Each structure stands twice: as structure tokens, then as C-alpha cells.
């Protein structure tokens, strides 16, 4: 049977809408990315430009990046996460990377623990959309689970889609979307190994 890519993504979003407050409390102020990864991203952002964050969630990574002097545009497809950030005085705009346009241009972008919820044939289009939104040479920080499987994980009130990527296959998708890999790091996390990569958009034209 063909994969219902949009249907699978919507099921994942529904689960996050239901469990956002529980997730918010569970991660308790801890960024997803390492301090080194965020420092490396900040060092590559041209001063005076903004970083677009896809899937801001509770907003802890944005907090940490802003503490390094970087202006972050927080976005999330889950309205509940945006509302939770608003409760603590942060603005987070609702944005579905798979269907919504990205207005403006950015000096960098980050998408942490998000892309595993896209089906394999959705990834390159999402990366290309981010490339279009970035200035030439702009950095992109990504974090995803390593492997080659795809599963439905059980959440508090439903389930959500998780796609794993082997590094070689993922790097090929980056190249197709006109990104060059600059730095990578793997560490054990929830459910196995998680890989963080810092890529750079190739020059326009």
C-alpha cells in the first residue's frame, strides 16, 4: 500500500498537540542540541541576521542560542507548543514546513529532533525549502536518530511517526538540496544514537 505521507504527519502533530504540556515538563529546560553544536551554529551566523527555527517545541534551544547573541525566529507546527512559549513571554509562530511558505531570508536555520517525523520522500523537499530561505553560505543545524528503520512510537494519547536515517543516505539528501556537510557528532540518546550535523548552503546560482 502507498504511504499516506501527509496523513502520517498529521497523526504525529495531533499527538504533540495532546501531549505538549507533558513534553514541556519532561524536558525541563534542557536544549536538544549540545552546547558545542549551538556554539558552532552561532559562530557561522552572519552578525545582524536571524536564525529560523523549525519545530521550536518548548523553545529551550532558541533560549540557548539567543543567550549567545543570536536572534531566533521560533516556529512550530504544533499550536500547543506556541501557546506554551507565549505563556513564558516568547513569540513562536505556527508554521508547517511541509505546506506553508517561508517568508523572508535568514542567516541560518535549525531543525532539531523534527525531521524524523517526515516520510523519506518528504525530506529533500523540506531541505530545499530551507535552502531557499537561507542566504548563500548560511548554516543549517540538524539533529535526527540514526538507523534505517521506520516505526510508530506510542505517545501519551496516540502515536507518532519516527523515521531513522543512515548517515550516508542522509548526507546524500543534504547534497541533493544544495547543502555541504561541515561538522557532525553522534551521541546516545532516547532510543539509540542521535546524529547532529552542521551543514552550509552552497552559494546561490
Compute the average pLDDT of residues 189-195.
Answer: 83
Find the Cα–Cα–Cα–Cα dihedral 110, 112, 114, 119, rounded to 10°.
Answer: 80
Separation CA 83–CA 54 (nearest Å): 16
Q: Are 69 and 50 in contact, with CB atoms under 8 Å apart?
A: no
The pTM (predicted TM-score) of the whole model is 0.88
Q: Which CATH number is 5-201 given?
A: 3.40.50.150
Q: Are 144 and 112 in contact, with CB atoms under 8 Å apart?
A: no
User: 22: pLDDT confidence band, cut at 50, 70 and 90?
Assistant: confident
Q: Are 81 and 92 in contact, with CB atoms under 8 Å apart?
A: yes
pLDDT at 34 over 90: yes
The per-residue pLDDT for 157 is: 45
Amino acid at each position: 500500500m502507498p504511504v499516506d505521507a501527509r496523513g502520517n504527519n498529521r497523526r504525529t502533530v495531533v499527538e504533540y498537540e495532546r501531549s505538549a504540556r507533558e513534553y514541556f515538563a519532561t524536558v525541563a529546560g534542557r536544549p536538544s542540541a549540545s552546547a558545542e553544536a549551538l556554539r558552532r551554529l552561532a559562530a557561522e551566523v552572519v552578525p545582524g541576521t536571524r536564525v529560523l527555527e523549525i519545530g521550536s517545541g518548548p523553545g529551550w534551544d532558541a533560549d540557548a542560542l539567543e543567550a549567545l547573541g543570536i536572534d531566533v525566529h521560533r516556529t512550530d507546527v504544533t499550536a500547543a507548543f506556541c501557546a506554551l512559549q507565549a505563556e513564558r513571554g516568547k513569540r513562536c509562530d505556527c508554521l508547517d514546513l511541509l505546506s506553508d511558505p517561508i517568508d523572508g531570508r535568514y542567516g541560518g536555520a535549525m531543525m532539531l529532533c523534527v525531521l524524523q517525523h517526515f516520510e523519506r520522500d518528504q525530506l529533500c523537499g523540506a531541505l530545499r525549502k530551507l535552502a531557499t530561505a537561507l542566504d548563500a553560505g548560511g548554516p543549517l543545524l540538524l539533529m535526527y536518530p540514526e538507523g534505517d528503520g521506520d516505526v510508530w512510537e506510542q505517545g501519551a494519547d496516540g502515536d507518532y511517526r519516527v523515521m531513522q536515517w543512515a548517515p550516508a543516505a542522509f548526507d546524500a539528501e543534504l547534497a541533493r538540496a544544495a547543502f555541504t556537510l561541515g561538522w557532525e557528532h553522534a551521541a546516545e540518546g532516547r532510543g539509540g544514537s542521535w546524529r547532529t550535523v552542521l551543514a552550509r548552503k552552497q552559494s546561490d546560482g
